[in-house]
Structure 1
Amino acid sequence: MGRDLTRVPLVPRKSGAAARDAGFSGTTPYTAADPTIDTMSGFLPSNRAVDAEILPNRDRATARARDLVRNNGWAAGAVSKEVDSVIGANFRPLLKPDWRALGLSAEWAREFKEEVEGHWRSYAQDPRFLADTTRAQTVPQMFGTAYRTYLVEGEAIALVNWRRARPTKTTMRLVDPDLLCNPQDMPDRAQLRGGIEISRDGIAKAYHFRQAHAETTWVDIADRWAWKRIARETPHGRPQVIHFFDKTRDGQTRGISRLAPIVERLRMEDHYSRVELQAAVINAVLAAFIKSPMGPDVIDELFAEGGGEGFLKYQEARQGFYGNSGGVKVGGARVQALYPNDEIGMVQTARPAAQYADFESAVLRNIASGLGISYEQLASDWSKTNYSSARAAMIEIWRGWSARRTAFAQGFCQPFFMAWLEEKILDGHIALPSGAPDFHAFWPAYARAKWIGPGKGFVDPVKEAKAAAMRVALGLSTLEEEAAELTGTDYADNMEQIKGEIAAMPEGTLHPMQESFAKLLGHNGGPQMTPED
């Protein structure tokens, strides 16, 4: 009979030590789970519930992250860069009410947007800080502080308060995450973990806040052992506690510092830099020294013969010589004379060490990757960067920052904006049209917004502007989107400003905005437009 061509021949395998030596061993289908491989034999982490991993270690990880941000320049710079890029100085909503879902018109949506945003600007940027319960910051500043807390400590917490004496009664109170803990520091259990009450469905339904920090010394000790329970929201859904963190696994109750994966690297780099700096300072101070010809044997003989008097006389003679000798001047230069048999020794100043720059660069690349930014941004080193690499890095980093901005806006900023809008609607400051749907039933549709902060910026302003014009001309984007992404501005506000500028232009002078997109595209290699067109 012919050979069966469908049968796959078996490949002989080695067994035992021979198999391991040849690299064919495998006691499990996945190498990642094989306990017999030398490189993995000591790597035996356990599988735990996410809260069992985070909650017992959260305080120490947070303390270390805070210390690094206080004292390590790289950590402080990285945190500031991300806060400035994601939140910036004027993080604000660009209202987009879902007029289709509400059954209203696009014209109403535009009018509603302008009215709501006008009220929000007056409220959020009030220099009297009336939106802050503590009257210390504007709303954008509070958002920036909250994002910094989230970045360093892993979570941002705020209370939505009601202060009757203020023109707008809705206020925000930022809360130190340290204050969120179990009453009387009780151990965690199924329905109370990390100071948060959990329902059977896994919903955070209430929060317990210590009334003063446990390490505070200037308050009554009774406040340090008093807790207040605050429900997550009112019965009709108004938020009372806003708690934002990155949820990475099911069942997670609290957040962990975003710096946690790189704390060790930051610490190592900081320690190495200190050692190098100390060595360089010592070398700079101690540039030269005088070597005595006396060795241990000679000193022993002097002590033995005269009970130490010979050695003391020798030292006195040397000190007297160096103290009284002014040296000899030759042509205005001083030549120092040495005591007989003494020699000059020079300190080698090879600092920093040859491998220091490479080590620091490798560590900073690891840190930058953990933070989601580029090495060039972290180190402020653009010496080896060209346009293409800078552009590629900006696109990658901006994608991550945009995702974090959206998550933070939806998880922290939007609930507060919705609470504020509820007050404005219910007290009549902002009126809904006759026959409009019930506000609470369509609360998210009325409050729908896109939050905008600093723009992406430009690597090459001319190329970026032309590319934006082409995207709009081809229908791939809108002027509103381009204004928000590139410069962080509201296109509607820009147009109002431009209208005023056009009106103020001298007669016969064109405003740059009046140039057509077609002409701009023609300058970029596109079809040239004739006057008849």
Structure 2
Amino acid sequence: MFDRLRSLLPSRPRAGAVAVGGQGAAYLAGDRTSEAMVNWHAPLRAPDAEYLRDRDQIVARARDITRNNGWAAGAAVREVDAVIGSAFRPLSKPNWRALGLDEGWARDWKEAVEAHWQLDAEDPRRYLDASRQLSISQLFGMAYRSYMIDGDAVGVIGWEEDRPVRTTLRVVDPDLLCNPMGLADDATLRGGVEIDANGASMAYHLRNAHPGTSWASTEALSWTRFAREHAWGRPIVLHYFDKHRDGQTRGVSRLAPIMEKLRMEDQYGRVELQAAVLNAILAVFVKSPMDPEAITDLLSENGGAWDAYNAERSAYYDDKGAVRMGGAKIPHLYPGEEIGVVDSARPSAQFGEFQSAVLRHIAAGTGQSYEQVAQDWSKVNYSSARAALIEIWRGLTARRANFSGGFCQPFFMAWLEEKWDAGLLPMPRRAPDFHEAWAAYARAKWIGPGKGFVDPVKEAQAAAMRVALGLSTLEDEAAELGGADLTENLAQIRREIAAMPDGCLHPMQESFAKLLGTPEQRAPEPERTPDA
């Protein structure tokens, strides 16, 4: 009977075979026994539970490192300059097909919208800024910097009746977005954001004053609730952040993954610099034969023996001359003393390699190249520069498109509504209602600084080829390479052509063939008169 039961049991696995369902993990990442993984206990939390509890500490450290660390400060400034720049603006592109209108109307609409935007955006009275301090491009740049360092870009669109331009923007410190009276997060209120059952934000609670002000303020203990938008769709609160997981309510600082490396590099660099300064200051010293016990004994005798010792040394050096290192010969020293030289081996030989490794880590974390972060172009050639520029520009273009769509475009829609309501825009009789097709009327492409040139000649030739083959347009090339508006360029070129002397062609009148390498076209010679 037992033999029969034993035959029904599974046989013992052969040596070296792995039993199905055993302790070994199919993925090494899930292994709980290997030396590398046994002490790795990563928490599994909801997205807001991962961040909101430590949000204030992370943001405070991110701001501190960008204030006091040159690498972090430079990386933040360069990204804001590359994405937003000094003239971040929309190119109106109404969806005339969806509106059932014609292309001629779209051209008139574009010209009117961009003219009014330029007038308000460049007004030195700063009416678009609620505080009347910054231009609209500077406001967008401040919001982008807040998004990069703090993780959130928050703004409030206002309406000021006493201004020529009533639509205003206030870029809000993300610290003010928090739960009233320190309430704990729950299913409908997290990090100051009210959400519905689908996770959509419905309202925002903004503290009326920062709790860290240096003066006493009762407003720091009060909050104002702002709805996300008006009943007819006009936006009120702008909130942009990188959403990485479903259920995430607030953004995470872009510097969070590299904060530790930045701190370590900062501390290491400071210690090496201090050591180098000390070596430069204290280069040579004189060793005395007196040990601490002997000095204590001399001083314990009411200073008489110590004074006698110093007087004898002074008399000796008055006779022999002061100790100097200016010549090759060293004068005689007082008996028992000798010259000591500080070892000037600091900074250590590994400091440069360590710093380069840390800066590469920082560059990867911020989406920039090592050369941009370190400002070290000594090992760059044309091919590597082009490869780096293409890769970095791809990331900057994505960030620009996402930020403009999430923060700038809603403000543009609110501003455009004001112009439409004032009757300043061309609206045909058969045009759809503005609010019913708001997105189609407000469709725009945002342009900022251009990609720039590594080799201007090759870049211009490549742009001309793309346009000639129909792979791109003049508008796209002008925006990408130089951050320019083709409409403004062409208007200026028309004025320049009209001002050219007789018999001279404007460079723009030369065909693309010149850029493509074909024989140069020459300006026609003026006709000769019989008397010539």
In the superposition, the TM-score normalised over structure 2's length comes to 0.90
**Kept after mapping to 1: 8 A contact 2:62/2:259:** yes
Aligned length: 508
Greater shift, 344-353 or 322-331, is seen at 322-331
Decide which of 101, 106, 110 is 2:103's aligned counterpart: 106
In structure 2, how many angstroms separate the alpha carbons of the residues matched to 1:469 and 1:173? 42
Q: Which residue of 2 aligns with 1:13?
A: 16
**1:431: Cα distance to partner?**
3.2
- Take 2:15 and 2:470, find their aligned partners in 1: how far apart are those partners? 62
**Per-residue deviation, 1:352:** 1.4
Assess if the C-alpha contact under 8 Å between 1:158 and 1:241 holds in 2: yes
Is 1:191–1:198's contact at 8 Å kept on the other side of the alignment? Answer: yes
Q: Contact conserved, 1:96 with 1:113, CA < 8 A, in 2? A: yes
Distance verdict in 2 for CA 1:343–1:192, change over 3 Å: same
Give the counterpart letter for 2:259 in structure 1: V
Q: How do 1:79-478 residues align onto structure 2 when only pairs under 5 Å count?
A: 79-220=76-217, 222-294=218-290, 299=294, 313-319=308-314, 321-322=316-317, 326-327=321-322, 336-478=331-473
For 2:116 and 2:122, locate their aligned partners in 1 and report how far apart those are by CA, in whole Å: 10
Deviation at 1:348, TM superposition (A): 1.3
| 8 Å contact kept, 2:450–2:480 | yes
Does residue 64 (structure 1) correspond to residue 67 (structure 2)? The answer is no
1:401-440 C-alpha deviation (Å, 9 max, x unpaired) = 0000000000000000000001110121223111101111
Work out whether residues 212 and 219 of structure 1, in 8 Å CA contact, stay in contact via their aligned partners in 2: no
CA distance in 1 between partners of 2:224 and 2:324 (Å): 82
AA at the equivalent of 1:224: A
Per-residue CA deviations over 1:85-125 (Å, capped at 9, x if unaligned) read 00000000011100110011111101100110000001111
Once the two structures are TM-superposed, the CA of residue 522 in structure 1 deviates from its matched residue by 3.0
Are the counterparts in 2 of residues 157 and 177 from structure 1 also a CA contact under 8 Å?
Answer: yes
Aligned to 2:50: 53
SS of the equivalent of 1:208 reads: strand
Check whether the contact 1:245–1:255 (CA below 8 A) recurs between aligned residues.
Answer: yes
Q: 1:34 aligns with which of 31, 42, 48?
A: 31
SS at match of 1:157: strand
Q: Deviations over 1:255-308 (max 9, x none)?
A: 1110001111111001011001100110111010111245578x3997799899
Which residue number in structure 1 is paired with residue 5 of structure 2?
A: none
Q: Is the 8 A contact 1:302 1:309 kept in 2?
A: no
The answer to whether the 8 A contact 2:299-2:306 is kept is: no
Q: Match for 2:424: what amino acid?
A: H
The CA deviation at 1:44 is 1.1
Structure 2 Cα separation of the partners of residues 100 and 473 of structure 1: 26
Q: TM-score, normalised by structure 1?
A: 0.90
Shift of 1:324: 7.6
CA distance in 2, matches of 1:409, 1:331: 65
Give the root-mean-square deviation of aligned CA atoms: 2.6
- Helix, strand or coil at the partner of 1:358: helix
SS at 2:436's partner residue? coil
Kindly indicate whether residue 483 of structure 2 is the aligned counterpart of residue 480 of structure 1.
Answer: no
Gap change, CA 1:218 and 1:309, over 3 Å in 2:
closer
Letter in 2 for 1:277: L
Runs of 4+ in structure 1 off by over 2 angstroms are: 10-16, 217-220, 292-297, 299-337, 528-531
Are the aligned partners of 1:179 and 1:213 in contact in 2 as well (CA < 8 Å)?
yes
Q: How many angstroms does 1:218 deviate by?
A: 2.6
**Residue 365 (structure 1) shift:** 0.4
Shift of the 389–304 alpha-carbon distance from structure 1 to 2, 3 Å rule, reads closer
- Alignment partner, residue 493 of structure 1: 488
Quick check: 1:327–1:335 contact (8 Å CA) kept in 2?
no
Secondary structure at 1:40 match in 2? coil
For residues 331 and 271 of structure 1, the distance between their equivalents in structure 2, rounded to whole angstroms, comes to 37
Q: Percent identity?
A: 58
Shift of 1:309: 6.7
| Distance in 2 between residues matched to 1:530 and 1:304, nearest whole Å | 97
Q: 1:316 Cα shift?
A: 4.7
Following TM superposition, by how much is the alpha carbon of 1:191 offset from its aligned partner in structure 2, in angstroms?
A: 0.6
The one-letter code of the counterpart of 1:163 is E
SS of the residue corresponding to residue 401 of structure 1 reads: helix
Contact map agreement 1:327 1:334 (CA 8 A) in 2:
no
My pick for the range that moved more, 269-278 or 285-294, is: 285-294
Answer yes or no: is the 8 Å Cα contact 1:328–1:334 preserved in 2: no
Q: Which amino acid aligns with 1:492?
A: T
Deviation at 1:325, TM superposition (A): 5.9
Secondary structure of 2:339's partner?
strand
Query: Does the 8 Å contact 1:158/1:173 carry over to 2?
Result: yes
Ranges in structure 1 where 5+ consecutive residues have no aligned partner: 1-9, 17-24
Distance 1:504 1:284, change over 3 A: same
Is this contact kept in 1: 2:511–2:521, CA < 8 A? no
1:510 positional shift:
1.0
